[in-house]
Amino acid sequence: MAIAELVMPKLGESIMEATILKWHKKVGDHVKLDETVLDIATDKVDSEVPSTVEGTITEILYNVNDVVPIGTVIVRVETAAQASAPILAPVAAAPVIEAPAVPVAVAPTPIIETPAPAPAPASVPASVPVTPPPVVEVPYTPNAPMVELMAKPASNRFYSPLVLNIANSEGISLSELERIPGTGNDGRVSKKDILQYVADKKAGRVPTYQPAPVYAAAPQYITPVAPVAQQAAPQPATQPTASPVAPEQAPTVPVTAPAAVPEPMAVATPVAAPATAPTPAVEQPQPIAPVYQEPIVPLVPAPQPAAPQPTYQAAATPTYQPAPEPVMKSASRFPEQNAAAYSAPMPPSPQAIFAQPSGKYSDPSMVKVSGETEIIEMDRMRKLIAKHMVDSKHTSPHVTSFAEADVTNMVLWRTKVKNEFEQREGTKLTFTPMFVECIANVIKRFPYINCSLDGDKIILKKDINIGMATALPTGNLIVPVIKGADQMNIVGLSKAVNGLADAARNAKLKPEDTTGGTFTLTNVGTFGSLMGTPIISQPQVAIMAVGAIKKRPMVMEGPDGDTIAIRHMMYLSLSYDHRIVDGSIGASFLTEVAKEFEKWDINKQWFHYL
């Protein structure tokens, strides 16, 4: 038996400790490899800690709500030792005749009981046993099986930027990537899966993927109908004509063989023959197998007796008596009506019939104040958010600039392609990936927006990792990070945004999904707000907020003069750390982002990667 130690894993470059939320195992429980042992929480996200070995838990060193530093041992697991080989009875070693050096594959040989050997012949000395020559065994190398791809593409699956970069560098299309079976959480394709797939593809173990053929609509076969002239042609002369003849004078009718395809005939009225009349002997032809076809409607159908037509009687029209008109109680030309109006009670009005009491008082003196209050304890995430906001305000001197952007082209382009986009890519097209693409393009021209401050040193980040503030169902806020946002097109950004948002709302974010951000975007317009003054997420130096998109009449400048048009407008706001970013840099960056929004190509091609 061996003892393995499970330590608190490293959850990010800036995370030094974690809080234990829940233990899934207790002392004495058996745990499998990669099975969840406990849940932990950091100031970024909640996560699960899996076991790195298989065995029995012998010791748990911390309790729930304990704060444990990174790298500290938290669990000890007793693992099974390697099974020792069976000990065999010693066998007397026999002298071996030296043979030429030949590579021999060593394989375990089972011991088989055999009868005592017969005495050696006289020609062989008894002291030297005969040893058979060594047998050279060639190791068996089985053929590697073909890789099985998924029968149905996983269109809603999230792909990390690393996996997308590997697929792009290896020439793997998105349709091919969607058929790779994944071993990650929720069937995600991990780095190990994509690398193994690339190796199998180079070794020829991946079947050639061909998209499903598109079949044309099956032709509809219509049975031809005989022409009208053919239908109206008279019957052959060999067929008798039905005529009313007396029973005793009925001649013998010759019977001819029927045609290959029976034609519809007029049906004659049968005539009852007397019981005493002998039946003439008629030679019956051999039956011919009937040929079935769709019935042909004759040109002139046989007359049918007219069915009696039902007689419908119109429903009696209800007689409505109008309600008596209210009579003015003032003097009129008809004194008898005035007298009836004063004597008869007035009917209640519809407002009086359907009026419901509101429960509110019209007299302020009747209002009663209870003075009751409710105290709600902040949850752990709310406490961390509050602490981060206060620390950010104490750390960075915040300055906020505002700008206005005409996003009409964005709105029109999204309206034009969103349905086809969702059908082809299996994910929705929102404005957030469009905003992220424009912001990433502008950040490349303003490196000081994509940096952090360490004491007196400015750290310029080469990677553009944009965090997006996401509201949780509990009302809290979390910021998952889109890694390498400048390396993805609109399709990749849409899948990254939707995947991270779904994982955040379903509490499936991983620690690495919330770390490493260099710039943050928050969409306050989702909740109807026109603009906002966001707080910087440390250690970043800037955060941008986009407001609600509203239609407004705007003055448009053109070659023929100014005109007024209805445009889709939006306010942008940028909060930045004034220790590093001055007003000129912050305002210039914000203006360039607004221009990037406005010059969005309304004919932009989004499937050019195919």
Report the catalytic residues.
578, 582
Location of structure tokens 């021209």: 445
How many residues are listed for the chain in this entry? 610
Residue 403, strand partner residues? 572
Indicate the SS3 state at residue 237: coil
Location of structure tokens 């800036």: 14
Rounded Cα distance between 497 and 175, Å, is 19
Tokens, residue 120: 């050696």
Tell me the DSSP string of 45-68.
Answer: -EEEEE-SS-EEEEEE---TT-EE
Rounded Cα distance between 11 and 82, Å, is 32
Rounded Cα distance between 258 and 267, Å, is 16
Q: Which one, of 481, 494, 578, 473, lies nearest residue 155 by Cα?
A: 494
Tokens, residue 410: 């964005």
Indicate the SS3 state at residue 505: helix
* Amino acid identity for residue 380 in this structure: R
Rounded Cα distance between 285 and 307, Å, is 40
- Per residue in 198-227, is it b (16+ CB within 10 Å) or e — as a string? beebeeeebeeeeeeeeeeeeeeeeeeeee
Rounded Cα distance between 420 and 303, Å, is 58
Location of structure tokens 């005749």: 97
**Whole-Å CA distances, 507 to 46, 272, 466, 474, 479:** 8, 90, 20, 11, 13
Contact 161, 483 (CB under 8 A): yes
**Residue ranges in 107-241 assigned as alpha helix (H):** 161-169, 174-177, 191-202, 228-231
Residue 466, strand partner residues? 482, 519
Beta pairing class for 519-523 and 481-482: unpaired
Residues with Cβ within 8 Å of 119's Cβ and at least 6 positions away in sequence, in order, are 126
Residues with Cβ within 8 Å of 103's Cβ and at least 6 positions away in sequence, in order, are 136
| Cis, bond preceding 86 (omega within 30 deg of 0) | no
Residues with Cβ within 8 Å of 197's Cβ and at least 6 positions away in sequence, in order, are 147, 172, 180, 206
Residues with Cβ within 8 Å of 191's Cβ and at least 6 positions away in sequence, in order, are 160, 162, 163, 166
Tokens, residue 253: 């009718």
Contact 41, 65 (CB under 8 A): no
Indicate the SS3 state at residue 20: strand
